[in-house]
Structures are given as structure tokens and as C-alpha cells.
Amino acid sequence: MVRPAAGFTLVESLITLIVVSIGLLGIAALYVETLRVGRSAQHRTQAVYVAADLADRIRANRAPVDGYTGTGAGARAIADLAEWQALVAARLPQGAGEVRFVAGTTDTPAAYTIRVSWHEIGGSTPLIYELRLEI
């Protein structure tokens, strides 16, 4: 009389090990992706922060209206731009900042465009955040 096998066989144990291993690899991949997305979100938050920082500086120092373009900049504007460029470089990987001014017309107000760009790790093209500040 043949007795039914009790417990797991070696084949069942190996299949269970393979299934668990695949599950753990999936969890590890999910963790790595979470870290990547979290880092990207942090960089985007920093870009918004540094652009808003310069916008606040421009609002606080309005004379002359185009003072942050570099041509008619006063001492405070020059110092603000230098501090801001250092902040962008410190907060973002390969960070760069640019400020443009468009004079107002009868239909549109004068406006600054504050552009912050940076590179994500492993990315080939820069990411860009722009803030338009109407004066």
C-alpha cells in the first residue's frame, strides 16, 4: 500500500522560492522608482521656490522697472541676481537661472519671465520651470 506524501516536496519548495523571489524583486523595483520620483518632485519644488524667491526680490525693489535685466540694474538688483544665481546652482543639479524683461504696452503690463532649468539624474534634456511676473 502506497502512502500519500506528507509535507512539501523539493519541487514545490523551489517553485515557492521562485515566486517569492519575483515578488521581492518587484518590491525592490517599486522602491527604486519611488526614490526617483521623490527626488524629481523635490527638484521641482526647489525650482518653484527659487523662482518665487527672485519674484519676491523684484517686487521689493521695483525702481527702476527693468532693474533686473542687467542693463539698468542698480547695486541691489545686481546683488540680488548674484545671490539668486548662487541659490539656483546650490539647490538644483546643474541648475541655471535666467531673467527676461518685456516692456509694457498700452494693452499689456511690463513683465519679467523667470526661468529655472536643471537636469535630472539620467536625463538628457533639461527640465524648465517658468514664472511670469507682471509689474
Phi then psi dihedrals of residue 60, to 5 deg: -75, -20
124 pLDDT higher than 90: no
Average pLDDT over residues 19-35: 96
Average pLDDT over residues 66-95: 87
pTM of the entire predicted model: 0.77
What are the pLDDT digits (tens) for 110-119?
Answer: 899 999 999 9
Return left, alpha or beta for 102; rule: phi > 0 is left, psi -120 to 50 is alpha, else beta.
Answer: beta
